[in-house]
Chain A
Amino acid sequence: MLYLGPDKKTIATPDWQQRFQQLAADCPSALLQAYYQAGVVAPDTRIAQTPLMALDLETTGLNPAQHDIISIGLVPVTGNTLYTSQARHWLVKSRSGLPADSVQYHRITDDALANAPDLLELLPEFLDQIAGKILLVHCADIERRFLASALIARLGVGLEIPVIDTMALEARLHRARPQSLWQRWRKQPQTSIRLAASRSRYGLPDYLPHHAVTDALACAELFQAQLADRFDGQTPVAELWS
């Protein structure tokens, strides 16, 4: 029999409040303990009242084992307002160096990173920014794995973190059913759920991608459009996070 991997529907979203209490008690890193102690909103909190933080990471590649985070962008979001005036942006020194071919994406050069701090130096501020908030990310899997990998390398322990994934929300709509045989036979392409393609479906403007703050903003705007389209401010956060 073919092994199809774990059935995604059976992976339950953790009880984040309980999980955070446990991590706050067990976590070996004092930095992370403080983060977990800040807690999580209750699962029935309305999304309009939930403090959110849109996050984007620029990395030197797609493999957390080989590649590094080189830039972090944060945009706070509450209700229908994106606080770009409070956006944060950091450049982060890469421990593995900058592959030449990645520069064309993020346009961050070795020179720009020469004076950038190591992620370890930024962590207190970064964790302080996201404490008590739910992250808003497009393609949570990548950001989660990069954050975990970077923290394991520096603190010896990863980061568990509740995330609303705008890509997963798009997938719910466009990947709810597998493609029919007819569609596969006709080689019909699947609807793209990448950030730019998803935004254009909601009539959001084109942005120049691969700047951490711009991408975080783009993700936050996409989330607003998704809420307007099929959820609303009254939706409990537990319906959206994972």
Chain B
Amino acid sequence: MAEPSLEIEQIEILSFLQRHSPFKELSLQEQTLLATNIDVSYFKADSSILEYNAPLDAFYLIRSGLVETFRRSGALYNRLSEGGIFGEQGLLRGRKVRFPARAVEDTLIYLIPADVFESVFESNENFADYVEVGDIERRKGNAPDKSPPATAMTTRVRELVSQPPVLLAADATIHEAATLMRDQSVSCLLITAPDNSTQVIGLVTDRDLRNRVLAERVDLDTRIENVTSSELVTVPAAKYVFEAMLIMLRNNVHHLPVLDEGRPVGVIGIEDIIRHESNNSLYIVSSIFRQQSVNELAQLRTSVQSCFVRMVHEDANSQMIGSAMATIGRSFKQRLLELAEQELGPPPVPYCFIALGSMARDEQMIVTDQDNALILDDSYSPKQHDAYFKALAKFVCDGLDACGYPYCTGNIMATNPKWRQPLAVWKRYFTDWVTNPTAEKLLHCNIFFDIDAVRGETRFVDSLTADILQMTPKHRLFLASMTRNALQRSPPLGFFQDFVMEEDGQHKQSLNLKRRGTAPFTDLVRVLALSKGIADRNTYRRLNAISRANILPLGRAADFQDAFELIAMTRIKHQAANLQQNLEPDNNVLPERLSEFERKRLKAAFQVLANAQKFLKFHFQA
């Protein structure tokens, strides 16, 4: 191994390393060591780079070109371009090729000798982490990488192609087509000209077989081209994922053949795009269900935070983020309940564990305390059964606290005996709140009107909700009391349309976007929804239903949605920024940190909220 020389001859190689992870994060000395030891290999298109199980003496870095790696079965494992690395699996496991590789285009490879690779791998933990995460994981964006994450705006369509297309000549029969689809387990075939095996002339999907063959009683020996869509919509492999989405929407198709220089290289379906867009939160959810103890679950807390930050960077809207976070929070509860039942045994009577507030509304944020309760079967007898449910509640609430969902300061938790009751008692609570209301009585039970089943007997929640929604539209006094509470927190706008800052506490001179923004908004939308017996819990969906119910002036519901989105996103971005600066995320935004443009828009949004409150006050005579 050559000693790194101070006068680096391989300037080109060095500067390439300095542009690509994980090399750019290395010290100059390490970069120099690599650059002076790298050899270059050239592989022409369609030639083999690595054969399975062949001895491997280098780590491969793509300087230019395109490479595909394969599983032993021959299935595509990964597709890599400039800056892509491969061969690490083999180097770390006996220096034999694990994933064979082929050059798809003419490709230049930088070869890092195995012993140089290993010396850096052993001495540099970050490098080792990056390499060990594996390329597929890296592609999902789970690596703690500061570079911009893969998004629909920056990911190319070719990245979504997971397998080569299944082709069939146009002169084959429908029966042959169906057989091929079954054998290859694909939902879609590309139909090629009979004389030219790569010129795609059409596409046949499961749906075509249903609508054009079965429903029409077409003979199965008919040539497949007779039932093939002739208008073929395709997407070039180099297009961005969002362009593929637009093409699908515009043409109302769910499958797009992907062409690379006119040759079909695969088919992407709408589900591929959905998976790509949400794979990160799905990944966390699936790992939640793999954890075996509260301790292990608590380890996932940082992944949840990075998922949140990632979604913000990917320009997800507050609905997507809120529902992803709610799904994650719900999964924590479900897994904790499973673990609790493993420890305590099966429940003595049926129960339903419920989420209240933001999680039930699918609007959960990263800073959120736990609001939950237990609805028990009416056969529940406190003496016999409460010890079990008390222990169950304690297990879950302690677990949630450990996982980053702190105890509810208002004590709205299943550990509180008041909120651990049989269904009949819950019905009495709600009847009392609705039929015999005072603003004071209702002050702290707003969130009970946002209720969602997490685990157990969903029918308890269904029955309770049906009763509530049947009562609420008829009780004007209840709606007036709820309105009065909803108007208690006003938007932070002064007489001259300036921001009014918080006066008290450590957050002076800041705007509390929850207390002054999203919370009063949610409150007023809830009152409107309850007044019409609307079953939706999510603020957006409630507004959609309210809009259809024609209680608001035309267009007002859309204004409300836009304003709510703006305030919610400002809050979300603030929390993401907190997390990135290793600060405890909070709701307090300093207006001077916002741009002039953002301040103007925020003021406009608060103005919409102020007007909405005036409307509500007038509407319910509160």
Q: Is B a genuine binding partner of A?
A: yes
> Which residues of A approach B to under 8 Å, CB–CB?
73, 80-85, 87, 89, 202-205, 207-208, 211, 213-214, 217-218, 220-221, 224-225, 228
Min CB distance, A194 to chain B, in Å? 18
Q: Mark B20-56, 1 if CB is under 8 A from A, else 0.
A: 0000000000000000111111111100000000000
A76 nearest in chain B by CB position: B39
Min CB distance, A117 to chain B, in Å? 15
- Chain B residues with Cβ under 8 A from A208's Cβ? 11-12, 15
Q: Are B64 and A205 in contact (CB under 8 A)?
A: yes
10 closest residue pairs by CB, A with B: A224-B42, A228-B44, A82-B40, A89-B9, A213-B9, A214-B12, A205-B64, A85-B37, A81-B41, A80-B42
Task: Name the residue among B36, B39, B43, B108 with the largest chain A CB count within 10 angstroms.
Answer: B39
Give 25 A-B contacts (CB < 8 Å), ordered by A residue: A73-B9, A80-B42, A80-B43, A81-B39, A81-B40, A82-B39, A82-B42, A83-B39, A84-B10, A84-B13, A85-B2, A85-B36, A85-B38, A85-B113, A87-B9, A203-B65, A203-B106, A205-B82, A205-B108, A213-B11, A214-B11, A220-B40, A224-B42, A225-B106, A228-B44
Distance, CA A207 to CA B2, complexed state (A): 24
- Chain B residues with Cβ under 8 A from A211's Cβ? 9, 11-12
- Chain A residues with Cβ under 8 A from B113's Cβ? 85
Q: Are A84 and B11 in contact (CB under 8 A)?
A: no
- Chain A residues with Cβ under 8 A from B12's Cβ? 207-208, 211, 214, 217-218
Residue among B15, B39, B43, B64 making CB contact with A84, cutoff 8 Å: B39
Q: Are A221 and B108 in contact (CB under 8 A)?
A: yes
A75 nearest in chain B by CB position: B40
B82 nearest in chain A by CB position: A205
B7 nearest in chain A by CB position: A89
B111 within 8 A of A: yes
Min CB distance, B44 to chain A, in Å? 3
Name the interface residues of B104-124: CB closer than 8 Å to any CB of A: 105-106, 108, 111, 113
Q: Chain A at the B interface: mostly helix, strand, loop or mixed?
A: mixed
B63 within 8 A of A: yes
- Chain B residues with Cβ under 8 A from A213's Cβ? 9-11
Q: Mark B85-104, 1 if CB is under 8 A from A, else 0.
A: 00000000000000000000
- The answer to whether residues A202 and B39 also contact, given A85-B2, A213-B9, A214-B12 and a CB cut-off of 8 A, is no
5 new A-B contacts at CB < 8 Å, known A73-B9, A221-B40: A207-B12, A208-B11, A220-B40, A221-B42, A221-B108
Distance, CA A207 to CA B45, complexed state (A): 22
- Chain B residues with Cβ under 8 A from A220's Cβ? 40
Distance, CA A71 to CA B43, complexed state (A): 30
Min CB distance, A214 to chain B, in Å? 5
Distance, CA A220 to CA B42, complexed state (A): 10
Min CB distance, A105 to chain B, in Å? 15
- Chain B residues with Cβ under 8 A from A203's Cβ? 64-65, 105-106
Distance, CA A72 to CA B82, complexed state (A): 29
Q: Are A228 and B42 in contact (CB under 8 A)?
A: yes
A205 nearest in chain B by CB position: B64
Q: Are B38 and A204 in contact (CB under 8 A)?
A: no
Distance, CA A203 to CA B45, complexed state (A): 12
Q: Mark B244-257, 1 if CB is under 8 A from A, else 0.
A: 00000000000000
Residue among A73, A202, A217, A228 making CB contact with B40, cutoff 8 Å: A217
Distance, CA A221 to CA B64, complexed state (A): 11
Min CB distance, B387 to chain A, in Å? 71
Distance, CA A203 to CA B64, complexed state (A): 8
- The answer to whether residues A204 and B64 also contact, given A85-B36, A224-B42 and a CB cut-off of 8 A, is yes
Q: Are B42 and A84 in contact (CB under 8 A)?
A: no
Q: Are A81 and B111 in contact (CB under 8 A)?
A: yes
- Chain B residues with Cβ under 8 A from A89's Cβ? 9
B2 nearest in chain A by CB position: A85
- Chain A residues with Cβ under 8 A from B44's Cβ? 228
- Chain B residues with Cβ under 8 A from A81's Cβ? 39-41, 111
Q: Are B37 and A225 in contact (CB under 8 A)?
A: no
Distance, CA A80 to CA B10, complexed state (A): 19
Q: Are B10 and A204 in contact (CB under 8 A)?
A: no
Distance, CA A22 to CA B281, complexed state (A): 75
- Chain A residues with Cβ under 8 A from B65's Cβ? 203
Residue among A83, A214, A217, A228 making CB contact with B106, cutoff 8 Å: A228
Q: Are A204 and B13 in contact (CB under 8 A)?
A: no
- Chain B residues with Cβ under 8 A from A87's Cβ? 9-10
B65 nearest in chain A by CB position: A203
Min CB distance, B529 to chain A, in Å? 59
Distance, CA A177 to CA B329, complexed state (A): 72
Distance, CA A203 to CA B63, complexed state (A): 11
Q: Are B106 and A84 in contact (CB under 8 A)?
A: no
Min CB distance, B435 to chain A, in Å? 76
A87 nearest in chain B by CB position: B9
- Chain A residues with Cβ under 8 A from B13's Cβ? 84
Distance, CA A202 to CA B42, complexed state (A): 12
Name the interface residues of B52-84: CB closer than 8 Å to any CB of A: 63-65, 82
Q: Are B9 and A82 in contact (CB under 8 A)?
A: no
- Chain A residues with Cβ under 8 A from B63's Cβ? 205
- Chain A residues with Cβ under 8 A from B82's Cβ? 205
A89 nearest in chain B by CB position: B9
Min CB distance, A229 to chain B, in Å? 8
A212 nearest in chain B by CB position: B9
Distance, CA A217 to CA B113, complexed state (A): 18
- Chain A residues with Cβ under 8 A from B40's Cβ? 81-82, 84, 217, 220-221
- Chain A residues with Cβ under 8 A from B37's Cβ? 85
A207 nearest in chain B by CB position: B12
- The answer to whether residues A84 and B41 also contact, given A204-B108, A208-B12, A214-B11 and a CB cut-off of 8 A, is no
Min CB distance, A63 to chain B, in Å? 27
A214 nearest in chain B by CB position: B12
Q: Are A82 and B41 in contact (CB under 8 A)?
A: yes
Task: Name the residue among B10, B15, B82 with the largest chain A CB count within 10 angstroms.
Answer: B10
B16 nearest in chain A by CB position: A205
- Chain B residues with Cβ under 8 A from A80's Cβ? 41-43
- Chain B residues with Cβ under 8 A from A225's Cβ? 42, 106
Distance, CA A135 to CA B15, complexed state (A): 27
Distance, CA A87 to CA B108, complexed state (A): 17
- Chain A residues with Cβ under 8 A from B39's Cβ? 81-85
Distance, CA A225 to CA B45, complexed state (A): 10
- Chain B residues with Cβ under 8 A from A84's Cβ? 10, 13, 38-40
Distance, CA A85 to CA B82, complexed state (A): 21
Distance, CA A228 to CA B105, complexed state (A): 11
Task: Name the residue among A85, A205, A207, A217 with the largest chain B CB count within 10 angstroms.
Answer: A85
- Chain A residues with Cβ under 8 A from B36's Cβ? 85
Task: Name the residue among B42, B82, B108 with the largest chain A CB count within 10 angstroms.
Answer: B42
Distance, CA A84 to CA B36, complexed state (A): 7
- Chain B residues with Cβ under 8 A from A205's Cβ? 63-64, 82, 108
Distance, CA A205 to CA B106, complexed state (A): 12
Distance, CA A213 to CA B38, complexed state (A): 14
Distance, CA A207 to CA B39, complexed state (A): 16
Distance, CA A93 to CA B114, complexed state (A): 38
Distance, CA A214 to CA B15, complexed state (A): 12
Min CB distance, B49 to chain A, in Å? 10
Distance, CA A221 to CA B13, complexed state (A): 13
Distance, CA A214 to CA B41, complexed state (A): 15
Distance, CA A207 to CA B40, complexed state (A): 14
